[in-house]
Amino acid sequence: MPRFEPFTGLRYRPSLPLEEVTAPPYDVLSAADRERYGARHALNVVHIDVPLPPEGAQRYDNAARLLAAWRADGTLVADPAPSFTRYRMTFHDEAGRPRALTGYIGGLEVLAPDAKGDVLPHEQTTPKDRSDRLDLTRATDANLSPVWGLSMAEGFADLAALPGVPVGTFTVDGVTHDLARVDDADACARISSVIGSAPVVIADGHHRYAVARQFRAERRAANGDEPGGYDLTMTFVTALSPEGLFVQAIHRLIGGVPASFDLHGHLARFFELSPAGAVSAATAVDVVTQGALCLVAPDGSGTWLRPRTGAFEGLRDLDSLRLEAALAGVSHDVRYQHGVDRVLGALRDGEARWGVLLRPVPIAEIRRTATEHVLMPPKSTFFAPKPPTGLVIRPL
């Protein structure tokens, strides 16, 4: 079963406002976002997590020097003892319903690529350059942002009652973040025992976990296969259950379809089509209540796509698989986009010919996929809200 251990973390000194020095994960930041967060505060974590050019090794060396300087001048302060971080997010979902998500940040076991174990991926990954994160990890010798794991353990909910020392509360973009340090030996042993009793499914951060694997292999090779901090990677672990966990869809942008091709006519072989009217952010909720996908035209009008009975027999309960099957053999390319507004913007800007809004993957299907050790298509799920970078840093 997976190891999950406390670590001696680095945290911003208490006098610094966490809402100004934390930032979203690097992989959801545009260049404009990076500039905005960098300007928000001179000590914002993006100055280390997304170092600016010059290109090449110097930018990673600069990040490492800055991290060392912040440790030396007291910007970042080490915890007094190895600890877990109890982390709670409260927010409202797209339908306006209150949500609360509680989990623990700790060090999760890093498995070798060919090893059998109970840290499981849940979807295929798209090709992505890993050298940036690997070079940054080599230079800083630290985990800067967590992987997100889903625990299948019984008794996970009971862990929320364990005692902890408050280390920060702040609200950004409608999400309240509440953190407490748990370093009591018995409490830490309890957390390790419960989370280590069942598989952990990687929900978000598959590429970060892959980088951790490569980093571990490098360090093991250099150190005579000796164990070390690189055998674990910083991970936020929550329960794999409908309570609290909020899964959003990742939608599709379709391009490369010949101008003469009748996409509506083709899709009618697999779906029942009906008008959906003007598409808006509210359509993200409507696709669930309608039990349908939604094809979006460049003018923002939508068409409901309700799967025909028997058209997708034998496929798992995933809209992404249904769309793949319906477009098999059709010349096209696919891009992935989260958020209806971003889909509409891409269509307005001519970045795609069509958008397709999908329904979120049911929690039961995520659990079934993990239990059966099969993978969903790439970009099937978007777990939200994303834990910011800078809540805690794990030195290696």
C-beta neighbour count of 251 within 10 angstroms: 27
Mean pLDDT of 124-139: 78
**What's the pLDDT tens digit per position in 191-209?**
999 999 999 988 888 889 9
CATH of segment(s) 250-359? 3.30.1760
In the sheet that holds 354-357, the strands lie side by side as 271-278, 301-307, 293-296, 354-357, 251-255, 333-337
Stated pTM of the model? 0.84
- pLDDT at position 128: 55
- pLDDT at position 365: 79
- pLDDT at position 112: 78
pLDDT at 122 over 70: no
Peptide bond into 275 cis (omega under 30): no
Q: Where in the chain do CATH 3.30.1760 domains reside?
A: 250-359
Work out the pLDDT band at 115, boundaries 50, 70, 90: low
Of 252 and 281, which is predicted with more confidence?
A: 252
